[in-house]
Amino acid sequence: MKIQLILILLCCALCAHAETLILRTGARVQGTIIFQNEEVVIIRDAEGARFQYPRTDVEAILSDEEAAEVADTQTTDTPDTEITTSKKASILLELAGGADVHPNEAAGGAFSVDLLVGSHHIGDKHIFIGGGVGYHGLFIGAEKYNFLPIQAALRMPFTETKHAPVFGLSLGYGVALSKSYLGGIYADADLGYRCQLNPKTAISVVAFAQFQQAYVPVTTMVEGIPFESKAGRNLVVTGLKLALYF
């Protein structure tokens, strides 16, 4: 009789080892399973409370050792995923149109296309830092100026939400695409709205102000004789810009 009682106690001890339920919701329940069949699982936690779950809600039943291994794997994989995401290159395509703002000059307009490459993830922030080139055309009266800006760029949202105000800044040098004038310093400032479509893609609409330095030919008459020289001219344009990050 004593031997049978000892065997029963040993079986109970072996069956009452701690386990972890992994629910389909992702939640974990630790305790001792006291009953289970094809329809239900009943588990008792360390404080003695009993919980009953339909078998269809239970994703897996793990021992303490298996649950610890799963937790260690998830902890190890998470930093690698974040680092990989932050190092991925992004492309920023910007299309802009605007008007010349010099009141003493003939009415003018401008358009531009910029293609920038950089990182869209700095740490855990959706900040774009990169550089690239563009094509800018300016029309002031009968005069036309074309430049190829080589630039470094920063685009930064004010908050890490799906919809956020965004600030942008670019600085570089505009190469003149004609021999009749020379290029110079290029700068751009943006302020507007950005929508983060997914972790890699975003779209923004911003108001911008662009500055392009140029050196244009000037004819000076000295005692009836024309002399050609280059004079500095500041070209300032404001307008709207559509940008796509991908």
What percent of the chain shows pLDDT beyond 70? 76
168: CATH: 2.40.160.20
Which pTM does this prediction carry? 0.60
Provide CB contacts within 8 A for 130, sequence distance 6+.
Answer: 90, 92, 116, 117, 118, 119, 152, 153
Mark whether 66 and 123 lie in a shared domain: no
Domain boundary pick from 62, 82, 102: 82
Domain boundary pick from 42, 66, 82: 82
Category of 67 on φ-ψ map: left (φ > 0), alpha (ψ -120 to 50) or beta: alpha
CB 161 within 8 A of CB 193: no
Q: How many CA atoms lie within 13 A of 114 on its CB side?
A: 31
Provide φ and ψ at 125, rounded to 5°.
Answer: -110, 145
pLDDT per residue over 105-145, tens digit each?
667 889 999 999 998 777 678 889 999 999 999 988 788 99
Q: Specify the 3-state DSSP secondary structure of 73.
A: helix
Domain encompassing residue 213: 89-245
pLDDT per residue over 67-108, tens digit each?
666 665 554 444 433 333 444 678 999 999 999 887 666 678
26: CATH: 2.30.30.100
Mark whether 131 and 54 lie in a shared domain: no
Chain-wide mean pLDDT for the chain?
Answer: 81
Mark whether 114 and 24 lie in a shared domain: no
Mark whether 32 and 110 lie in a shared domain: no
The pLDDT value recorded for residue 95 is 97
Mark whether 73 and 132 lie in a shared domain: no
d(CA 238, CA 210): 6
The pLDDT value recorded for residue 67 is 66
User: How many structural domains does the chain have?
Assistant: 2
Domain boundary pick from 82, 110, 131: 82
Category of 8 on φ-ψ map: left (φ > 0), alpha (ψ -120 to 50) or beta: alpha
Q: Give mean pLDDT, residues 3-20.
A: 53
Q: How many CA atoms lie within 13 A of 168 on its CB side?
A: 33
d(CA 76, CA 107): 61
Q: How many other CB atoms are found less than 10 A from the CB of residue 118?
A: 20
Mark whether 115 and 210 lie in a shared domain: yes
* Structure tokens that stand for 224 in this block: 């009836």
Q: With 90 as the cut, is the pLDDT of residue 244 above it?
A: yes
Task: Select the more confidently predicted residue: 13 or 163.
Answer: 163
Mark whether 78 and 96 lie in a shared domain: no
